[in-house]
């Protein structure tokens, strides 16, 4: 009886794995079959280097959206990476045991908040604050970067803390034996030993920032033009697809699918980078 159960479960797991792989293959085929010919039809240079996106005139240049995604993601990293890493170091090496459960639960709670709630918070709270302090409309690269920096904190904190906790205690004890204090032992022995895991955390944070849509729509301004400054509105690749897909048709719809191919390429690069750093961490 137990042998039959094992055989049944073996095939259940096999079907589940094949379903996941097939889903990924079908998504890739759908995107590439519809998107790549469109890039050729529009023109590679016109599509990737074009600075104007005007579907009414059949002009489809996604350079403003590519730069918008890069700038917003860079802003998120500037905000989220230092705070996330220092928080992870605090939780793993400095946090008192009586408050650790509360702080850990708070980080996990941040990960469970829906994107639309973050977006609503940014629209109601952050946009007016930025408008009052710096002028402009408040919906800008700066606001979107700060909001995404907050959103990627749970990913960076959780993965970085796990990497720090996985460092053998001998690193820390050896540093103490050589005369280093607690702080120096953590920052000069434990933290460098966990650098591969921390880099993986940063890459995962980049993936979250690049793929975020709803929150960015609500605070970035959604202006399909070349970025003019950190206090000006911008449109990212994801928001461009979501905003216009509902009414797009013919070449316009195909151009949005081609934009999705570009976004898919970015995500693939991020995932491959994560796999590379994960392999290095296991060596």
Position 83 pLDDT exceeds 90: yes
Domain ranges of the chain: 2-49, 62-282
Percent of the chain scoring above 90 in pLDDT? 21
The pLDDT value given to residue 144: 92
- As a whole number, the mean pLDDT across the chain is 87
Q: What is the pLDDT of residues 91-147, one digit of tens each?
A: 998 988 889 888 888 888 888 888 889 999 999 999 999 999 888 888 889 999 999
pTM: 0.84
d(CA 256, CA 170): 53
CATH architecture assigned to 62-282: Orthogonal Bundle (1.10)
């Amino acid at each position: 009886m137990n042998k039959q159960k094992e055989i049944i479960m073996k095939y259940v797991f096999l079907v589940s794995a094949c379903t996941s792989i097939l889903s990924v293959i079908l998504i890739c085929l759908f995107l590439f079959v519809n998107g790549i010919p469109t890039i050729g039809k529009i023109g590679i240079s016109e599509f990737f280097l074009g600075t104007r996106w005007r579907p009414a005139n059949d002009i489809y240049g996604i350079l403003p959206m590519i730069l918008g995604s890069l700038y917003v993601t860079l802003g998120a990293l500037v905000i989220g990476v230092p705070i996330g890493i220092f928080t992870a170091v605090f939780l793993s090496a400095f946090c008192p045991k009586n408050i650790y459960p509360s702080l850990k639960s708070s980080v996990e709670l941040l990960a469970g908040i829906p994107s639309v709630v973050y977006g609503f918070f940014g629209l109601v709270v952050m946009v007016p604050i930025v408008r009052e302090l710096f002028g402009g409309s408040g919906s800008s690269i700066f606001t979107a970067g700060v909001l995404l920096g907050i959103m990627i904190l749970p990913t960076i904190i959780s993965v970085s803390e796990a990497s720090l906790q996985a460092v053998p205690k001998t690193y820390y004890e050896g540093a103490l034996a050589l005369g280093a204090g607690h702080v120096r032992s953590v920052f000069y022995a434990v933290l460098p030993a966990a650098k591969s895991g921390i880099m993986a955390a940063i890459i995962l944070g980049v993936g979250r920032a690049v793929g975020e849509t709803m929150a960015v729509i609500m605070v970035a301004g959604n202006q399909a033009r070349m970025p003019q400054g950190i206090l000006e509105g911008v449109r990212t690749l994801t928001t461009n697809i979501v905003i216009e897909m509902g009414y797009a048709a013919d070449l316009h719809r195909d151009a949005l699918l081609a934009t999705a191919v570009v976004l898919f390429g970015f995500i693939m690069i991020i995932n491959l980078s994560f796999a590379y750093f994960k392999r290095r961490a296991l060596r």
